[in-house]
A and B are shown apart, each in its own frame.
Chain A
Amino acid sequence: VEQVSRQYADPSVSQAKFEKELESFFEQYYHWQKKGVFLIKDEFPVCEFLFLTPQLFPLAGVFAVRIDFTNYDAEPPSVKFINPYTGKLIKRPEIPFQFRQKASLEVIALRSNQDTSNGVDICIAIADEYPFICHPGIKEYHDHPFHTGNSWLRLRTEGEGRLYRILQLLHSHSIALVESLHASKPRGHNQVHLQIVQKKPS
């Protein structure tokens, strides 16, 4: 696995903090299991998680992420979406639903020409189409030129960037909003199209 950046912080510190985050995860293992969140790899500085939708039948594997704790917590963890079978990074169109968040006043103002009543998708892809979660506490957010005013160093002791928080964000903005699986067969096509139906964020 290719690291997102070179380790410049003391690796023993980052590793100790990485292990502490995983220890906390295992303490809440059954909490995450019930929600369909499974650890599939943990090897410093990286851990990978698979997110399933327990409310759907048949069970559907929805997405997987690689969380990279290189330089943690001098830097926040990086979150990338991966194919759980190959470990390769995937692009936004390969993630079949949105990570919806209720639009803040700031977002409503910035997107005044869009309908934000159903929330906004915070899983954003830039030019290379590899998506990132646009939320404080995630490396890609803080690396983004639009967020230079919201320094990670200001947030890192407040809970953002913790593994629990990242898993909670990923789950609450996606899996928790999944209501059903909609199947349709367009006229003239032999294949059935499946679409995940999500509710509005509260």
Chain B
Amino acid sequence: MSKAEKISGGEKEHPGQQNLRSLIFIINGEEEIVEKVNTKQPLKVVAEKALTESGNTKSISDYQAVYNDKEITLDKKVEDYDFPATAKIFLNLNTAGGGTGFKAIC
């Protein structure tokens, strides 16, 4: 059973925690689950936490967030997306240069 499936059953909600949930990020191909996410927060805050907890040292600005094969903005609040419990948000590194090797062969 994947980590995503484990949490898909959902945790029991406690009074005062209605705005809390888990979110799954895929960073460099590995799952990172951030627990107790306040859905009123911008997604960027949660993504930064996912990066820190997974030991990735690059800044959030070096990544693009992709959900359902579409790039999404990290500026919106978590609740704005209405992610299902098993949603996976991919944080993919932005293109980091390249395409310059032709010069040495000219």
Contact = CB atoms under 8 A, between A and B. Distances in A.
A158 B58 contact: yes
Interface residues of B, number: 24
Given A159-B93, A163-B29, A164-B29, A103 B99 contact: yes
B93 A101 contact: no
Nearest to A21: B29
Contact of A120 (B2, B92, B99): B99
Contacts of B98: 101, 122, 133-136, 141
A160 B97 contact: no
B30 A24 contact: yes
A133 B26 CA distance: 24
Interface in A143-198: 144-147, 150, 155, 157-160, 162-165, 168-169, 172
A146 B2 contact: no
Given A157-B57, A159-B58, A127 B105 contact: yes
Interface stretch (A4-12, A76-84, A86-94, A104-112): A104-112
A2 interface: no
Nearest to B104: A146
Interface in B40-65: 56-58
Interface residues of A, number: 44
Contacts of A157: 57
A110 B106 CA distance: 11
Contacts of B96: 135-137, 155, 160
B101 to A, nearest CB: 4
Interface of B: 2, 26-31, 56-58, 88, 92-93, 95-105
Interface of A: 21, 24-25, 27-28, 31, 101-104, 106-107, 110-111, 120-122, 124, 126-127, 132-137, 141, 144-147, 150, 155, 157-160, 162-165, 168-169, 172
